[in-house]
Amino acid sequence: MLPFLEVIPSTKLANASVYVEYQHLPKKPAYWHYHPELEIIYIIEGSGIRQVGDNLGDFKPGDFFIFGNNLPHDLHVEGSIDHAKLLLIQIKPELLASNYQFEELEEVIKTINLADRGILIEGFYSDAISYFLRELNMPPLQKLLTLLELFKDISQPHWQARTTQLSSINYKHKPSDNKSDMKAHDRLNTVIQFIQENYHQQIFLKDIADKTFMSPNAFSRWFKQTMNIGFLEHLNKYRIEESCRQMISTSKPLSIISQDCGFESHSSFNRCFTKYKGTSPGKYKTQVTNKLTKNELH
């Protein structure tokens, strides 16, 4: 894949190793990027589609992500709310780079190694998260201690059992500032943004190829080489993840959701959903509804 390098402003991590921010993430064009800093994101409010490495899925309140150094990622807000609220923590790579040999940090390093492919914990809760939200401007030492407390919570068996690695084991990304790669990145962002804006309607290969000034055949080859997945398959996966988000965040019937996500018929939606999720839309919606009800009771 060809994301671009985001340079974290020096004012954020000028004389510190940990930066904490309460952030409003607006609806925006595709922002497929990476950076050398380790990044932690906790979703407080809002939902949408996230892309991490070669993994595509949804995000919702209670989702806890860690993105490893230079791992490409993007969160795209969808739905009636025009923004998401999140806790953002960025960590200088030097903070832990020299501490691999210390057994006190063994569990922390295990978590960071998992984050090389991106990790997700659904329904996560930690006193450290609450403390960060209450005391955003805490002294630097307290930030570091609270961060270690957060990693301690993550390493508990209860949360380890609910930790999912996101991108595939074969996914590799090599950072580059090559001008041709930057051009390819702009082209890729054009494609991603086009999908985000038009997934709900029929998309013809020629239309998207024209956006990139390529022939349909050349575009198909380029997209497969760049994303390690065919364009139609990527589009359908995006539509399925959006349908999952709508099942969670709206009360719309499945017939309307399938139309709103760009499927020409309910039967094609069922086939595609079962292919990618391993279960039917109806069963998935029942499972999600039961899970949400259970969480509300607790």
Among candidate residues 106, 140, 165, the one where a domain is terminated = 165
What CATH number is associated with residue 54? Answer: 2.60.120.810
Among candidate residues 118, 139, 165, the one where a domain is terminated = 165
d(CA 19, CA 29): 25
Flag whether 172 is in a domain: no
- Domain around 38: 4-165
Residue 56 dihedral angles phi and psi, to the nearest 5°: -120, 130
Same domain, 115 and 200: no
Same domain, 132 and 248: no
Same domain, 191 and 51: no
d(CA 174, CA 193): 23
What CATH number is associated with residue 279? Answer: 1.10.10.60
First-residue to last-residue Cα distance in the chain: 41
Flag whether 173 is in a domain: no
Q: Are 239 and 261 in contact (CB under 8 A)?
A: yes
Question: Beta-carbon neighbour count of residue 113 at 10 Å?
Answer: 11
User: What is the count of structural domains for the chain?
Assistant: 2
Same domain, 96 and 219: no
Same domain, 190 and 281: yes
- The CA-CA-CA angle for residues 265, 270, 272, to 5°, reads 95
**Per-residue pLDDT in tens (0 to 9) along the chain, 298 residues:** 455 566 565 556 667 789 899 999 888 777 778 888 999 999 999 999 999 988 899 999 999 999 998 899 999 888 777 889 999 999 988 877 655 567 778 888 888 888 999 999 999 989 999 999 888 888 889 999 999 999 999 988 889 889 999 998 888 776 665 555 567 777 888 888 899 889 999 999 999 999 999 999 999 998 888 777 899 999 999 999 899 989 888 889 999 999 999 999 999 999 999 998 899 999 999 888 777 665 554 4
Flag whether 195 is in a domain: yes
Same domain, 36 and 119: yes
Shortest CA distance to 31 belongs to which of 50, 45, 58, 12? 50
